[in-house]
Amino acid sequence: MTDKYDMPDALGHFGPYGGIFVAETLMPAITQLNEAYQRYLQDPEFIAELDADLKHYVGRPSPLYHAERWSRELGGAQIYLKREDLNHTGAHKVNNTVGQALLAKRMGKTRIIAETGAGQHGVATATVAARLGLECVVYMGAVDVARQALNVYRMKLLGARVVAVESGSKTLKDALNEAMRDWVTNIDNTFYIIGTVAGPHPYPAMVRDFQAVIGREAKQQCLEQAGKLPDALVACVGGGSNAIGLFYPFIDDHAVQMFGVEAAGDGIETGRHSAPLTAGRPGVLHGNRTYLMADDDGEIIETHSISAGLDYPGVGPEHAWLKDTGRAQYVSITDSEALEGFHALTKMEGIIPALESSHAMAYVTRLAPTMRQDQIIIVNLSGRGDKDMHTIAQREGIKV
Amino acid sequence: MSRLTSKFAALKASGRKALIPFITAGDPYPEFTVPLLHEMVRAGADIIELGVPFSDPMADGPVIQRASERALSHHVGLRKVLSMAAEFRKTDQTTPLVLMGYLNPIEIMGYEAFANAAQRADIDGVLTVDMPPEEAEHCVSLLRAREIDQIFLLAPNSDAERIRKMDAVGSGYLYYVSLKGVTGAGHLDTADVERKLQIIRQNTNLPIGVGFGVKDAETAGLIAGIADAIVVGSALITKIEENLPDPEMAKAGIIALLRSMRQAIDA
Ligand SMILES: Cc1ncc(COP(=O)(O)O)c(C=O)c1O
């Protein structure tokens, strides 16, 4: 186990997971994208432009904040929040859209498409498209359009066209299907900005590389502020981009434990959840092999989570690999537990987290008390909760 | 020799082109499918592509998406489709049957279990939209050992190298998707298809089917002039969708369309 981690292989495999499983029409586009990704992520000029954008447009580095009051209250490990909620547009998603948009520009594409669940990735995509003056179409499940109305409005203000997807379960997976259909049809001028570490290779590796800035900063900040590496990392897992962004730079630091938190919805035992790593099985969806929620005929099962951003039946293939190898552990948190996590952070630290991130917070309330006070947890606060005010008020019977 | 290979050899010997209808199994309800398959053969179908309903048909347009949704509402999945195929085979031992669908149902069943089940159902070919040749080796070898062909798609933007790759891995026939997009979209540019087929034929000796955009007798006739097989799907399924209250009307519409295509192809 002293070997350096170097996944994926040239065809995007993380062990048996990942790969390229797409219709033939997409193959040339994927080859072209892979070439651009391989070339520009080594290109000092590209990296310099990306770094400048991350600093001046996104507002990086994001702080690593020691939540002292909350840590004291829980009575165990010291909790540090990686403040991705303070990024421009309010979540980690923008780290990736800034990067992919720069690639799109280099590749001469004039039209951007994206799928979105919570709307955070859609907003982050519409934002960079506006900045670069590119046409932008965002696909969003009709159910999500209804529960994330504020983000729909933000995208429209930013000049994007939001298409409500009425097929299937009308959520994130269906938005992804529709975006893929658009991509095959408009392959010549269109760049598809996938919002998480899913999709065919190179997306899982590429999105990870763009999000890894989270973990690189966190590592350096932790060494500066606490004088040592953290003992545990915690992040919520929808597709898995904020989690892998935090985990990846620590993979070879074997003493650092990693916990990915899936959405247990109404409870794993009810079947109404979005936790493929906890309760799914390997299969192929959206261009890669990974853990999925599927029935015995291989049909994808409808998922459930209070947070639209975690409401996805698959998960990035690298998480499937990290689970099987035991390098990361995957746990799950129900809707009600997530709400408790939401209120805990809001009351104890004056920070209102996104419902997605609240799943990670809820797991921290369980984990921290089992650890010593000289130990450190870094939890990824992947986004801010403004977009969820309506959902939470409604759930708690309050009219706003 | 597989049933597909001998079928194409026989067609070639008699100077005919293959007519290949595609329908989604279980659309609009399970009992509709097997009798329809037999009637399509009587109307002139040489080979049948039977769609396996999938919850997330990424490469399909709205018409086939809705067909999948109708079939899934009756719980028609891969296992049920295999039993339909076996039932069809009881009274038709000659018409090649190709299962067309997405990879996940096969993954969940397991490649070996699927290959065995396909052999028991006497399936002749498998076309898996989202399994490119790079990822196909294991599946192909299991199927080939059972004389089942794995059929691959070619797209307008597939270059010579890719065509040769399909030629090496695929068998039975290659399916040229005549436009960039999803099923049921756009219209066919025959001159463009003809140019592309020349390049394809320089790189493979497998028979070439053309689909995506064949809508009526006229387009079928045009394609018959340049390809070995004509695949028609969305246009047939549209007949089902237009006649949901009256499935017999739907069947009549499908049969009439196939007959007119057969005539145009043979003309
Ligand atoms: C704030 C926030 N966190 C997490 C996620 C989940 O995505 P991922 O698992 O890719 O980080 C989303 C997705 O919309 C999100 O908006």
Among the partner residues A180, A283, A294, nearest to B58 by beta-carbon distance = A180
Considering the candidates A62, A71, A84, A93, report the single residue annotated as catalytic: A93
Distance CA B248, CA B227 (A): 32
Q: Evaluate: CB of A381 within 6 angstroms of ligand 1.
A: no
> B3-266: what CATH class?
alpha beta
CB contact under 8 A, B180 and A180: no
pLDDT in tens, A204-245: 999 999 999 999 999 999 999 999 999 999 999 999 999 999
Whether residue B253 has pLDDT greater than 80: yes
Residue of the CA atom closest to atom 5 of ligand 1: A309
Residue A1, pLDDT score: 47
Locate the domains of chain A by residue range.
14-54+93-207, 61-90+212-395
Interface test with B, best of A24, A286, A288 (most B CBs within 10 A): A24
Spacing, Cα B252 to ligand 1 middle (Å): 50
Average pLDDT over residues B246-258: 98
Q: Evaluate: CB of A309 within 6 angstroms of ligand 1.
A: yes
Spatial contact of A293 and A280, defined as CB atoms under 8 Å apart? yes
A286 to chain B, closest Cα gap in Å: 8
Which amino acid is present at A369?
P
Prediction ipTM score: 0.95
Beta strands in chain A (DSSP E): 13-14, 17-18, 64-66, 78-83, 111-116, 135-141, 161-165, 190-192, 232-236, 257-267, 272-274, 281-285, 288-292, 329-334, 376-381
The rounded Cα A346 to chain-centroid distance in angstroms is 22
Percentage of chain B with pLDDT > 70?
99
Interface of A with B in 268-307 (CB under 8 A): 281-287, 289, 292, 294-300
Among the partner residues B107, B131, B182, nearest to A298 by beta-carbon distance = B107
pLDDT band of B190, cuts 50, 70, 90:
confident
Spatial contact of A11 and B93, defined as CB atoms under 8 Å apart? no
**Tokens 């930013």, residue located:** A158
Spatial contact of A330 and A278, defined as CB atoms under 8 Å apart? yes
Give the residue ranges of chain A where pLDDT is below 50: 1
Residue A2, pLDDT score: 56
Residue A199, pLDDT score: 97
Fold of A61-90+212-395: Rossmann fold (3.40.50)
Average pLDDT over residues B200-206: 98
Distance CA A98, CA A94 (A): 6
Residue B63, pLDDT score: 93
Distance CA B230, CA B222 (A): 10
Partners of A329 in beta bridges: A259
CB contact under 8 A, A185 and B158: no
Q: Which uninterrupted H or E stretch holds A160?
A: none
Closest CA to A208 of A243, A177, A178: A243
Distance CA B47, CA B262 (A): 13
Q: Output b/e per residue, A331-341; b: 16+ Cβ within 10 A.
A: bbbbbebbbeb
Q: Give the atom of ligand 1 at the shortest distance from the alpha carbon of A384.
A: 1
Contacts of A243 (CB under 8 A, 6+ apart): A235, A236, A237, A260, A319, A380
pLDDT in tens, B139-163: 999 999 999 999 999 998 899 999 9
Q: Which uninterrupted H or E stretch holds A209?
A: helix A203-211
For Cα atoms A204, A11, A13, give the angle at the middle one, nearest 5 degrees.
60
Residue B186, pLDDT score: 64
**Is A14-54+93-207's fold the same as A61-90+212-395's?**
yes
pLDDT band of B185, cuts 50, 70, 90:
low
Considering only CA atoms, give the Rg of chain A: 19
Q: Give the atom of ligand 1 at the shortest distance from the alpha carbon of A120.
A: 16
Q: Give the atom of ligand 1 at the shortest distance from the alpha carbon of A119.
A: 14
Active site residue A305: no
Q: Evaluate: CB of A121 within 6 angstroms of ligand 1.
A: yes
State whether residue A320 sits within 8 Å of chain B by CB.
Answer: no
User: Measuring CA to CA, how many Å separate A36 from each of A100, A102, A180?
Assistant: 10, 11, 19
Interface of A with B in 92-131 (CB under 8 A): none
Q: Per-residue DSSP letters for chain B?
A: --HHHHHHHHHHHTT--EEEEEEETTSS-GGGHHHHHHHHHHTT-SSEEEEPP-S--TT--HHHHHHHHHHHTTT--HHHHHHHHHHHHHH-SSS-EEEEE-HHHHHHH-HHHHHHHHHHTT--EEEETT--GGGTHHHHHHHHTTT-EEEEEE-TT--HHHHHHHHHH--S-EEEE-SSS-TT-S---HHHHHHHHHHHHHH--S-EEEESS--SHHHHHHHHTT-SEEEE-HHHHHHHHHTTT-HHHHHHHHHHHHHHHHHHHH-
Among the partner residues B106, B153, B180, nearest to A187 by beta-carbon distance = B180
pTM: 0.96
User: Measuring CA to CA, how many Å separate B135 from each of A13, A22, A128, B177?
Assistant: 11, 10, 34, 20
CB contact under 8 A, B132 and A27: yes
Phi-psi region of B83 (alpha: psi -120 to 50; beta: other; left: phi over 0): alpha
Among the partner residues B56, B79, B107, nearest to A177 by beta-carbon distance = B56
Which CATH architecture group holds A14-54+93-207?
A: 3-Layer(aba) Sandwich (3.40)
Partners of A380 in beta bridges: A82
pLDDT in tens, B65-117: 999 999 999 999 999 999 999 999 999 999 999 999 999 999 999 999 999 99
CB contact under 8 A, B177 and A25: yes
Partners of A112 in beta bridges: A136, A191
CB contact under 8 A, B103 and A167: no
Active site residue A166: no
Q: Evaluate: CB of A236 within 6 angstroms of ligand 1.
A: yes
Whether residue B41 has pLDDT greater than 80: yes
CB contact under 8 A, B155 and A25: yes
Q: Evaluate: CB of A388 within 6 angstroms of ligand 1.
A: no
Residue of the CA atom closest to atom 15 of ligand 1: A309
pLDDT in tens, B165-176: 999 999 999 999
Q: Evaluate: CB of A100 within 6 angstroms of ligand 1.
A: no
Partners of B176 in beta bridges: B154, B210
Q: Which uninterrupted H or E stretch holds A199?
A: none
